Each structure stands twice: as C-alpha cells, then as structure tokens.
Amino acid sequence: MSSSLLLSNIHIVTKTEIIERGFVGLRDGKIDYISTSPPTGNYEKVYISRENFYLLPGMIDIHIHGGYGADMMDATPEAMNTLADHLPSEGTTSFLATTITQNHQEIEHALKNVVLWKPDNEKQAGSQAQCLGIHLEGPFISKDKAGAQPAQWIKQPDLPLFEKWLHASEQLIQIVTFAPEEDTDFAFLSMLQEKNIIPSIGHTNADHAMIERAAKHGARHVTHLYNAMSSFQHREPSTAGAALTNEKLFTELITDGIHSHPLSVKLAYLAKGSERLIMITDSMRAKGLGEGTYEFGGQTVTVRGEQALLADGTLAGSILRMKDGVKQMRQVTHCGWTEIAKMTSTNAASQLGLEDQLGSIEVGKLADLVIWDDSGELMMTICRGQIVFEKRRQMTDEHH
C-alpha cells in the first residue's frame, strides 16, 4: 500500500481561495504539501488530474442511520463495516452513526456496538470512512413531531438515563437531537453543554420564542431543517423561522428535493448562507438497494422511486447519497465549490471541534479528500491518503 501520493494539475478548493492547477502532496495519511509549483521531494504515486477537476475536503455526514443494507441500530460490527466500506463511493470520508428512538436496551446495545467496533474502524483508516462518534436522535423529542421515530418509545429528557447511555458510549455521543419544549427547565440542555455535547433542536413543536430561549441557553444546532418541526407561518415563525434567522444555529439540510422543496432549499441557502448550513443524508438501510420493503426503527418502510415511506405515508429517512445531494444543491442555488466545501465538510468539522484535523485542505490535516469534475460528478475519494473510490471512465487513461 502506497504511503505517499502527489495530486498534480488540480484546482484546490481551500477555505480562502481556489488554487488553479496546483499540487497537493499526501504522506502517511496527512496533507504535507500544497503549492502552485511541483514539490522537490519524491512521492511513490502521482495522480495527474484532468482539466477542470476540483479537489475538496472529504465530506462529513453527521446524520446518517444506515445504507447499503445496514443500519446503525443493527448493533453488529458487520453493519458498521458495511456502512463504512460503502460511504467513500458517495464522497463521504467520515460520519456520525445516528440512532433512532427505540427501547432503552436497544439504544444502549447500539451505542456499545460502536464502542467495540471503533478500534477496528481506526485500523482500516485508509480503506473506509471513519466514524467520528454518535448522533443520538431521540427519544427526548415531541410526540407531536415524531416523524418516523416510533412514538411508543418517546419520552421526556431523562438525565440519569442519558448519563447511563453516555457512559455506555464511552463519551462517543457528539450530538443529541431533542425537543426544547420537553426540557421544561433546560436542565437537560445545561447538562449537554457541561459535557461538551452539541444540543440540536429537532422533532419539536416549539414556537419561535421557545427556540430563541433554547439558543440563548446554548442550543447551537438544528436537525434536518423543515422536517419534523413546527412550520413557518408569517404570524408565528415557529421552529423553522427561528432556525432560518438565528445566527447562533447551524442548520442541517437534506438536499434530496423530497424532504424539502427546491425553493425551500434555496430559501435556507439565502437565509443561512454557506456559513451556517450543514448538508446531511439522514439515509436509512435502503440506500443503494433500490425499491422494496425494508426495516427502520422496528417499522416497515417501503421505497418507491426516490422516497422511503412508512405505511401512513410519512417520510422515513432518505436514500440520498451525499454526492447526489451536492448535485441538487448546486442546481438549486448555483453555489460554487467553495460553498459546497463549507456545507459538506468545514461547518461539520467546526461544530464537532475537529477543525484542526478535518474540514479543509491545509498542510498537517488528515488527507481525507474528494475530487469532482466541473459538471458535479464525483471522480475520486481519498481516505487518509489512500484512493478508496475512483470513478472508472470508458477510456482508462486516468493515470498518465
């Protein structure tokens, strides 16, 4: 396995500029060279880019339940490996394994499974996407806005239970989605802050005033904007309106054209800008498998076309791949590659406190990278300096 790689003649999308036809050197899993001129040092392998290929930081999906036949709640190392192995094919180099509302034992079992599997994932750093931790979605949410979360397991924030889960997860829980109106004295919110966990507003029926109060008390994230939340009315902007206008709140967005109308995606982009949006998939096990019947949170989900639905017609997660979300986002907003880099990587790394390692192309950072052509096709995914996915063309002259 090659431990050094030079990417040459490629447009490098950094935080501040696009370096045209530059050179990026990767060594021992990290970026060790960025310049407009070739390096003097030797690299074991050289990739010469085609005209108009763009190099961006690897994508970070902070809200993903499963895909490719696997679900985080399966609570097996095989399920986690299936997910981590397939994600680079859509441009995702790291992710947060996301739970769904279930009985306490099942959630605990899933948390413990990630803990046991993670060392193996770290050993596979150059061949699969890296799990950065866990996103606990539910059960501390509103029954009125359950969405596809099984209502029978929804409960009010329970501090001792959460402590138990945090201990079981060996502190791997990074984000918790909760409904602030259920946390009547904000004790749960305070606890999340003390433990340096991101409190995310979601599956909530709160009015805008409650959201503003929660943000003042330290909530700084919103789970899948527009979905499973009180919706915008011009006299009561509700959760959606507060999420769009409060600058403290980073906002997740599923850009599949199904969970939110393209105009709503455009509205979010106009309101939040690329500085405060985080693109996610919220995908479930059916992703990559086609139409049929699947399981999600103990419920039957039918996939028809691009939609995953419960029996009553409720959307049950997505089958979106990050690379397709990027296509949609570019089409709807006409944003550039610099903005895509922020919304798919930089902002997530910053929220997770990992901006010293991930989220942008800088010397010393981990070599998690993606290459796109100018039409928005994903050409290559690099995990920790190793090429893990490469789109094959009809003509096999990728390496000159």
Residues annotated as catalytic (active site), given as ranges: 282
DSSP H helical segments within the chain, as ranges?
77-86, 104-123, 159-168, 187-194, 208-216, 238-245, 262-276, 322-333, 337-341, 347-351
- At 22, phi and psi to the nearest 5? -95, -175
Q: How many CA atoms lie within 13 A of 252 on its CB side?
A: 30
How far is Cα 379 from Cα 217, in angstroms, rounded to an integer?
Answer: 43
How far is Cα 216 from Cα 210, in angstroms, rounded to an integer?
Answer: 10
How far is Cα 221 from Cα 248, in angstroms, rounded to an integer?
Answer: 8
Q: How many CA atoms lie within 13 A of 266 on its CB side?
A: 7
Q: Check: CB of residue 157 under 8 Å from CB of residue 179.
A: no
How far is Cα 190 from Cα 219, in angstroms, rounded to an integer?
Answer: 9
Count of positions (residues) in the chain: 400
- At 141, phi and psi to the nearest 5? -130, -175
Q: Check: CB of residue 157 under 8 Å from CB of residue 107.
A: no
- In angstroms, the Cα distances linking 64 to 25, 47, 61, 263, 312 are 31, 31, 6, 24, 23
SS3 377: coil
Cis peptide before 139 (omega within 30 of 0): yes
Between 262-276 and 322-333, two packed helices, what is the crossing angle to 10 degrees? Answer: 100
